Amino acid sequence: MRKTVIDFLLLDNKQLNKDNFLLKLRSPIPVPELFPGQFINVLIKDASEIFLRRPFSILDVDFNKQIISILVKILGRGSKKLTEAKEGETINAIVPLGKSFSLPEKSDRILLIGGGSGVAPMLFLSKICGLAPSNVSVLIGARSISDHIDISAYQAYGQFHFTTEDGTLGEKGFVTNHPVFTEKLENYNKIYTCGPNQMMKAIGKVAIEKGIFCEVSLENMMACGFGVCLCCVEDTKTGHKCVCTDGPVFNVNDLKW
């Protein structure tokens, strides 16, 4: 898939909560084909101390209007600088990068599990998977209700469940404590997940034990996006792989977890 450097126009920069922002970027050219799990690498301009681009998962795409939406969580200087961009500014990004999740078959019943910034590809996948909402469950975890983002635009695409570590929204605890995961996994034949490594490892372990197909989107540090810098290498059962090019999506059975 051909990678393209595009100067996007920032249409909207909306703060969703304390640390999360929704950026809508309009391309001057037709948007390349994009799928959940892929990412864009954004140049942080007017910041001489930030040399490397920053990767962000794709939350949504409007191909007709040539708009890409990304969820930006403040994690450091680069992401914070990006959230300070103003409407009308130009955002330079490389797109598309990485391998996506496998799209489900029409007969599948899927469970999508997201935590932190990992909620973005899960929402995107729920929207474009092509399944009836009754066959799609989305489980989203966060520390507190204030850390969750508004998902109302996606509720028509599946059945949503929430956890918070402090019990302020949904089930108290982690996503792996929710009854959908602890008691009802037999209802699903595929699991897709993105979020903190420990969360995905816990999910992957159960999926392997129960023989359920499971794909994870790794969040290793990705600098170049082309497999050159080797910052994001992951040790797999077939050797070391660059997450930015061989992933970020992997079948959990291929990882040394």
CATH of the domain at 59: 2.40.30.10
Residues 71, 125 within the same domain: no
Across 195-253, the runs of DSSP E, i.e. the strands, are 213-217, 233-236, 239-242, 249-251
Q: Residue 231's pLDDT is what?
A: 84
Residues 19, 92 within the same domain: yes
Residues 159, 137 within the same domain: yes
Residues 84, 126 within the same domain: no
3-state secondary structure of 257: coil
**Domain total of the chain:** 2
Residues 91, 118 within the same domain: no
Q: Residue 1's pLDDT is what?
A: 60
CATH of the domain at 144: 3.40.50.80
Residues 81, 116 within the same domain: no
Across the chain, the runs of DSSP E, i.e. the strands, are 4-15, 20-26, 39-42, 54-62, 67-73, 90-97, 110-115, 136-142, 159-164, 171-172, 190-194, 213-217, 233-236, 239-242, 249-251
Residues 117, 181 within the same domain: yes
How many C-beta atoms surround the C-beta of residue 101 within 10 A? 25
pTM across the whole model: 0.95
Q: pLDDT 10s per residue in the chain (257 long)?
A: 678 999 999 999 999 999 999 999 999 999 989 999 999 999 998 776 777 889 999 999 999 999 999 999 998 889 999 999 999 999 999 999 999 999 999 999 999 999 998 999 999 999 999 999 999 999 999 999 999 999 999 999 999 999 999 999 999 999 999 999 999 999 999 999 999 999 999 999 999 999 999 999 998 877 777 778 878 899 999 999 999 999 999 999 999 98
User: CA angle, 207 as apex, 128 and 187 as ends, to 5°?
Assistant: 60
| Residue 254 and residue 213 in contact, taking contact as beta carbons nearer than 8 Å | no
Asked whether residue 231 is domain-assigned, the answer is: no
Residues 133, 89 within the same domain: no
Boundaries of domain holding 49: 4-97
Q: Residue 147's pLDDT is what?
A: 96
Residues 119, 181 within the same domain: yes
Beta-bridge partner residues of 191: 111, 214
